[in-house]
Structure 1
Amino acid sequence: MKTKVLLLIAIGISAIGFSQKSEIKAAEKALKSGDAASAKAALDGAASLIDGADARTQAQYYAVSGNVYYDMAKKGDTEAFQPAIDAYNKVIAIEEAGGKEKYTTVAAQQLSQMTADLVNAAVEDNNNKKFDDAAEKLYLGYKLSPKDTIYLYYAASSAVNGQNYDKALEYYHELKDIGYDGSGVKYSAVNISSGEVEEMDKNTRDLYVKAGTHNDPKEERTPSKKPEVVKNIALIYQQLGQNDKALAAYADARAVDPDDVNLVLGEANLHYAIGDKDKFKELMSIASNMAPDNPDLLYNIGVINMEQGNMEDARAAYRKALEVDPGYINALLNLSTTYVNEGNGLIDEMNSLGNSRADIARYDELKRKKDDLFVEGAKVLEKALESNPDNQSVLTQLKNIYGALGDNENFMRVKKLLEQ
């Protein structure tokens, strides 16, 4: 009896093995004919028993499974990328453990090609503003090729563009943890026939120069992206309202790049938002002293002060920027806007007044003050027109101010300038 039982068991195992191989072959045949759905269905039929199969059959099963899912991914099913990756990795692990490699080389080649496909698909997604999809594909590309940390960096950027801040934060922290630097060298040369500067790898550049098709070879070192990574972590925490983590991240960021004045400005803005105005003023003073002759910095200081309602400090910063660069149009426009905004701030109180003698007197007082502020704003722009007579932004803002003042003569004068 025992012999019969063992014989029956052996026959059963053989039948199972035959069934698995038959389904794998059916999947291969369906895939060759372009029917990935039928191929997947055939593999699904063998899936429940594959763990009990011999190593060679398992490797074959996962190799075909990887091919099926990869085919589905290339045809637009982006969710198929991960199962394809998992299947190919399983092939490599099985054959590595067994000491025999039949499908490993092809699996490795497919994984390498898949990395390129994922990156190319991510570029297309970004161009179509499908930023979440792009971020996921770039991250998969990084996982497939961990040495290409640039893919993780671009995955974080795509997540930010898609306003998926939690995912971006995850990627930036991973960049920070692996010590991502991102610096490098850009190689370029001038194409003699077109006269255009072309970037390429060093060996290609040197060959072209030697061949005489290019000249003026240059090498430019690109800066480290470490400061950007830690800065973005701070900015995202601030965006998410996690102020304690944001402050800690700003401290990390400033330790990495103590000369980045924008980090100081960002931290100052955060302190203002959480009600620490003394720290805000301290940091704004530090920022001013870091680059007293930088008009862009002074302009940014003006913007932050204006956003916080500190109109006098904003005006002082804009005037300093204009002392360095008298033709700084945005500083001129914003300087004018500080007066207009302050004047507009009086309108609510004016509208709330009644008809009593005291209310009428108060209304007249506020109106004079508002009009005086508008006039100051107009003076700034009239001065700007002396050096920028055709600037549309200046003319438009000036026309609006004269319209609000009821100054029809100047309104029509500026309107004609705009039309010309």
Structure 2
Amino acid sequence: MKRIIVLMLVVLVAGYSYGQKKPKINQAEKARSEGNLGEAKDIIDQAIVFDKLKDDGKTWYYHGLVYASLDTTSNPDYQSLADNPLKTAMESFAKADDLEKGNSGFYTTDAIGLPVTKEQQLNTLWSYYLNKGVENYQNDNNSEAYKYFEKTTIVQPEDTTGYIYAGSVAQAGKEYDKALKNYYHLINELDYKGRDTFYSIIYIEGVVNEDNEKALEVIRKAKTIFPGDRDFAKSEINALVKLGRQEEAQKELEAAIAAEPDNANLRYTLGVMYDETGQPDKAEEAYMSSLEVDPNLLNARFNLAVLYYNEAVELIKAKNNLGISAADQKKAKEMQANIDKSLKEAMPQWEKVNELQPNDRTALETLQYIYTQLKMYDKAEKVMNNLDELGDEEG
């Protein structure tokens, strides 16, 4: 009895094996081309596990076509048939090529019988995603635009266009991690040499992420690619200053000034660096040098005015701390002369600041104090009236 049961099982298994119908992959392609993606998927999914078809590159090529169609279809009935169909499609195309030892001649035929190669089909797929990305970006839908631009990089990973667009749209949407992922891939993996991409990375790392070390690393990479670009040289100086590496910054600044002697901003930046490191004499020299190039450079004028004013303030503090002895009074009189000298040096600088930036409260209040200290009461009263009017406007 047991033997009969075993024989029956063998017969049933054998009957099942011989009873499997060979999937027709051409039928899968026909269903796909006619838009019947559910049928196409059913057939091709059976084909890739069928013994006589699973090692045929053409099977996997059609499998890729079907899943690419599932990813681009607008029919909601088909959109949910597969998870991440584009990934599946690209893996299938890769397997098809591998089975053909990289020498594939895969193609389909169009409506009039002309061949359409796999390369042409991938280019069409890439263009579809790119156009959808642009369309969504123009409609202010950054997240959808990013999704489609990212898909272009999956279809053609060696093409820079998708990464540039994906990075730009992510940056516009303040999704900085996504932007950096694409930008770094461009400059590190694809050896892309776009100035704007480097500028974007430097901005995100330095300003958004406040990682000046990382920004400096990218700046220096950019300088090797664009050795004559002065903007990257200036960015390096700024990063070094922020990192407190003043000696390096000073050397770079001096080199930059030598290369660009008419750049007042570079001279001003050198003055700021000296200011911040407690070298007022060198700071004054740099600010004056900057103003010789551009007398209307507000930042340099303001810093020079503050420098002179602070000298007077320190002297005033020291004078106020003196005693009432005859010796102290004599010293106070001597110090007053130096105070007046510093205030007189500061006065035209603050007047110029007020001229360049009218109704600046800081400049007006400082001028009122200077005029009063120098007993220029008419001017002090006029400034006080300006401040009163300014107060009325703000109130």
Q: TM-score range by the shorter chain?
A: 0.5 to 0.7
List gaps (5 residues or longer) in structure 2: 1-6, 110-114, 325-334, 370-379
Deviation at 1:275, TM superposition (A): 3.4
Q: Quickly say closer, same or farther: Cα 1:296–1:168, change in 2 above 3 A.
A: same
Deviation at 1:154, TM superposition (A): 4.4
List gaps (5 residues or longer) in structure 1: 33-38, 183-224, 348-352, 385-393
Residue 258 of structure 2 corresponds to which residue in structure 1?
289
Inter-partner Cα distance in structure 1 for 2:89 and 2:227: 47
Contact 1:118–1:137 (CA under 8 A) maintained in structure 2 = yes
Contact 1:139–1:155 (CA under 8 A) maintained in structure 2 = yes
Residue 351 of structure 2 corresponds to which residue in structure 1?
379
SS of the residue aligned with 1:105?
Answer: strand
Letter of the 1:102 counterpart? T
2:122 paired with 1:111? yes
Residue 275 of structure 1 corresponds to which residue in structure 2?
244
Alignment partner of 1:172 out of 172, 184, 199: 184
Please identify the structure whose Cα radius of gyration is greater. 2
Residue 163 of structure 2 corresponds to which residue in structure 1?
152
Deviation at 1:304, TM superposition (A): 6.7
Residue 260 of structure 1 corresponds to which residue in structure 2?
229
2:373 paired with 1:401? no
Alignment partner of 2:15 out of 3, 7, 12: 7
Q: Quickly say closer, same or farther: Cα 1:312–1:107, change in 2 above 3 A.
A: farther
SS of the residue aligned with 2:261?
Answer: coil
Offset from partner CA, 1:239-280 (integer Å, 9 cap, x none):
656666555544444333343344343333333334333333
Contact 1:59–1:91 (CA under 8 A) maintained in structure 2 = yes
Residue 90 of structure 1 corresponds to which residue in structure 2?
92
Q: After superposition, where does 1:346-361 map in structure 2 within 5 Å?
A: none
Contact 1:62–1:88 (CA under 8 A) maintained in structure 2 = yes
Residue 68 of structure 2 corresponds to which residue in structure 1?
66
CA RMSD across the alignment: 5.6
SS of the residue aligned with 1:379?
Answer: helix
Contact 2:284–2:307 (CA under 8 A) maintained in structure 1 = no
Q: Quickly say closer, same or farther: Cα 1:278–1:117, change in 2 above 3 A.
A: same
Q: Quickly say closer, same or farther: Cα 1:292–1:144, change in 2 above 3 A.
A: same
Contact 1:153–1:175 (CA under 8 A) maintained in structure 2 = no
SS of the residue aligned with 1:102?
Answer: strand
2:298 paired with 1:332? yes
Inter-partner Cα distance in structure 2 for 1:107 and 1:302: 62
Q: Quickly say closer, same or farther: Cα 1:148–1:299, change in 2 above 3 A.
A: farther
TM-score normalised by structure 2 residue count: 0.58
Contact 1:237–1:245 (CA under 8 A) maintained in structure 2 = yes
Deviation at 1:236, TM superposition (A): 5.5
Inter-partner Cα distance in structure 1 for 2:132 and 2:223: 36
Q: Quickly say closer, same or farther: Cα 1:174–1:299, change in 2 above 3 A.
A: same
Q: Quickly say closer, same or farther: Cα 1:280–1:325, change in 2 above 3 A.
A: closer
Contact 1:138–1:152 (CA under 8 A) maintained in structure 2 = yes
Letter of the 2:184 counterpart? Y
Q: Quickly say closer, same or farther: Cα 1:400–1:117, change in 2 above 3 A.
A: farther
Contact 2:130–2:152 (CA under 8 A) maintained in structure 1 = yes
Deviation at 1:303, TM superposition (A): 6.7
* Percentage of matched positions with identical amino acids: 19
Inter-partner Cα distance in structure 2 for 1:291 and 1:88: 52
Contact 1:73–1:81 (CA under 8 A) maintained in structure 2 = no
Letter of the 2:85 counterpart? P
Deviation at 1:52, TM superposition (A): 0.7
Q: After superposition, where does 1:305-324 map in structure 2 within 5 Å?
A: 316-324=285-293
Letter of the 2:363 counterpart? I
Offset from partner CA, 1:104-157 (integer Å, 9 cap, x none):
937654532343343344445556776666556445434534564344344444
Letter of the 2:15 counterpart? L
In the comparison of the two structures, how many residue pairs are matched?
332
